[in-house]
Structure formats: structure tokens, C-alpha cells
Structure 1
């Protein structure tokens, strides 16, 4: 049994502890398997961090299995240490704030206020995938906008089909919030609202062409982290715009 006072408080300290335990297991240390299994279970249940775990953590439920695997990777200790350190780099970078922007915090605050269990959890998943899983991040970016639009339509008692695509859902939500370009006569406002609609359509196109949601024919085009940042950041800005307008009009 593990008691909380045996463990550090912050996620980054816990991640560091897990890395140290696994390094000891791969070399000549005597690691505590109880703590490893506890930390692994905790991170696996964390939607924000689960996708940033090293693949070998997700694969190996105990240190005995992990140690056997590292021995097959290399007979020497130093390559094993480097393998473990490299595996933990995405999570450590994320926990240290590398790759985060001030805009991430603004979006997080707005979406957390709106719906912490639904919309906000999708946003945190998009952030977590952005640096290490561009395919998945682009998919989740679209899911974020779909979720926000459906939640707004639900709260305003506006019916929709579950099969509606993102442009249609956004168009319905925008109209309900008086954000459709044709609801305004001032050219600057129409241009801004039209631009927002084009961004939403662009995310749908980017997802269809570059994300992991559809099989690809011919030579695959692999998205990079910059593509993922474009999709996730844009989705976050548009989602925040919708949410803030919805809450203000309520």
C-alpha cells in the first residue's frame, strides 16, 4: 500500500521519480515496484498526461517486465539510460511548460469555466498531443469545436443531427449567437466573422487531409507539430470566442 506522504506533490516531481525508478530497474538499482505501479496507474488515468507517457510505460505494467525488455534493447547500461531519458522528454517538456503559450492559459480558463469535464478535458487532451502526436492533436482539435458547438446548441434547446459535420454545427451555433456574417451589416464585423467561419472550415479540411481519422491512399502526408499547433491553437481561439459569447448572452 502506498501513502501519499511517501510521494512528492507535483506531477513533474512524480514523473522524475518514475524515471529514476525505471532507470534503476534497467541498471543495477533496487527499485520499488509498488511505487512504479502506483505512479503508472495515476498517470494512465490522467487524460492530460496519459498520451505523453513513454510507450514503454504504457506497455509494461511492472518493473520485472520492463527490465527484461531493456536487456533486449542493449546489453549495456548507458544506452538503456538514454532510452529512458528520451522516452520521458515529451512529458517533462510539457510539465516544465516548454511548448506552452500564454494563449493556452487564456483558453484553458475560459473552457474550464464553461465545462470542466467535457469541453475542457478535450482541450487538455489536444494540448497534450500537440508536441508528440500531431495526427491525434489535429483530430482532437476538430472534436473540441464539435463539442463546444453541440454543448451551446444543447443549452439553447436547438436540435441538430448527430451526423452533422463541423461546418454545419458551427453555422448553427454562430447563428444562435448572432455571430453569422449575414447577421451584420458592418463590413469589418462581417469580415472577422467570415474569417472565423473560414478557420473552422480549414480545420475540417486539415483534419481530413493530414490527421489520423481517415486511411490515406498513395504516399502519406505526415503532419508535423507545427501543423498540430496551427489546428489546436486555432480551435482553441474559436472555441473561446464561442464560449465567451454564449456566456455573455446568457
Structure 2
């Protein structure tokens, strides 16, 4: 198959990569090693997708190298198909969107209209890290909110220090957007805004608290993917709220 006919959709490319491996694993020695090598190079060059590739794809540069590997892993064609299919599940599910929360696309769209090269890039990194690197995802979630707050403060011409932590930055931004609890008298609104501030404080300290905590045996307590999902989704929701409020209040050009 010529490279000109390789699919462009990432999911289709991942499926084709899997099918090439299955073909070789089940005795089809005509499966195109050139197509495999091209697809493999493309996935390996993407840091987010490389982490989701089956380990044997990362180590087997050609189908000829893969052939003796798969023969050792499984004796029957059915077992080989199952082995390869299970290994590709994380990548396929990621590309199908199963690892994304329902609000991911909405949040991404909102942030992209705010600052495509800055805030949206940070949000994308957080999405990619939730399942593979929980600690990194929590850190990026915090960075996301810091980036949003700084951008808003810059637009509002409110001074801040580069040493200010997330709670301080959020407090300044909330005040500038009239979102601070003490700026409202209606109790339900004060409660919601106060809850948002508490969530931001939690995100700001979660990474350090978990790293400093120790469980049984003195081992550090590490965040799990569910902790990362909570932090990232909360950060995305609050960032969206800040951006929407800011854009709604900005005068039309």
C-alpha cells in the first residue's frame, strides 16, 4: 500500500496499525511493513499517543521484528488476535473518546475562543495526562487555572506577582469579575461562589498534600486517575466559568 493511501483520521490509522500486526501474527507475510513503519513513526512522534501504544509497537520497529515476538507470546491465531486487541484497547478507547468526560469538548471549545495558543494548550495537556500521569494531570490542572486567572488579570489591568499562588490569583480574578462571595448578598449565590473558591484552594494544594502524605509502610501517597479526573474536570469547569464571565463583561470591539 502506498503512503498516499494511508488514512488521515487517527482512529482509522490506529485500527490499520492493529490490523497490520494481526495480519502478520496470523501468517499473512504480505502485510506491508512499510505501512506499519510509517504508522508506527507517526504515533511514536506524538508524546501523548506514544504512551498509549502497546509496548511491543514501541520496541518492534518492523513487522519482521514483531513476528518472532508474537510467536513467543501466543501459540494460536485466536490467542494472538486477543493479545494484540487487548494491547491496543487503551489507544483505541482514547481515540474514540471513552476516556473523556462529557464536558471535555465543551470546555475545550470555550477555552479555545479565549486563548487558543495558551489556555487551550494547557487544557489539552491535562486531558492527555489524566489516566497515564495523574500527578502530572493535577499539576497541569492547577497551571490551567493559573493561566486563566493571569490572562483575566492582565486584561483587567489588575497587578499581581509571579510568586502569587493559585488561591491568591483566583481571589484577585474573582474580585475583578465580581465573583467573590463577599460581593453578593443572595445566600445561594454566595454559597456557590464560596464553593468554587474552596475547590480552587483544593486544586492548589492537592498535588503538594498528596506528595507529602505517607501511607502504611511510610510510602508516599500517590494520586490515582480518579483524583486526576476530579482535579482536571473541576479546573475545566471553573476555568470555563471564569472565561465565559470575562468574555461576557468585556466591551465589544
Pick the TM interval, shorter chain.
0.7 to 0.9
How far off is 1:116 after superposition? 2.1
**Which runs of no fewer than 5 residues in structure 1 stay unpaired?**
none
Q: Distance in 1 between matches of 2:60 and 2:208?
A: 35
Find the aligned partners of 1:120 and 1:47 in 2 and give their Cα distance: 17
Tell me how far apart the structure 1 counterparts of residues 68 and 13 of structure 2 sit (CA, whole Å): 23
Distance 1:194 1:175, change over 3 A: same
1:73-152 equivalent positions in 2, closer than 5 A: 74=73, 76=75, 82-152=82-152
1:170 is displaced (CA, Å) by 1.1
Q: CA deviation at 1:240?
A: 0.2
Superposed displacement of residue 196, structure 1? 0.5
Query: Runs of 5+ in structure 2 lacking a partner?
Result: none
SS in 2 for 1:102: coil
> What does residue 13 of structure 2 align with?
14
Contact 2:54 / 2:87 at 8 angstroms: preserved in 1?
Answer: yes
Give distance in 1, aligned partners of 2:220 and 2:13.
Answer: 38
Instruction: Tell me how far 1:171 sits from its aligned partner.
Output: 1.2
State which drifts further: 76-85 or 188-197: 76-85
Q: Is the contact between residue 149 and residue 170 of structure 1 (CA under 8 Å) also seen in structure 2?
A: yes
What is the deviation of 1:63?
A: 2.2
Distance 2:72 2:135 in 1: 27
- TM-score (structure 2 length as normaliser): 0.79
| Separation in 2, partners of 1:197, 1:44 | 40
Partner of 2:222: 222
Contact 2:182-2:190 at 8 Å conserved across structures: yes
Q: 1:159-238 to 2 correspondence within 5 Å?
A: 159-210=159-210, 214=211, 218-238=218-238
Q: How many residues align?
A: 245
Root mean square deviation, CA, Å: 3.1
Q: Contact (CA 8 Å) 1:73, 1:80: kept in 2 or not?
A: no
Give, in angstroms, the shift of residue 99 of structure 1.
3.5
Alignment of 1:46-61 (within 5 A): 46=46, 49-57=49-57, 59-60=58-59
Distance 1:61 1:116 in 2: 36
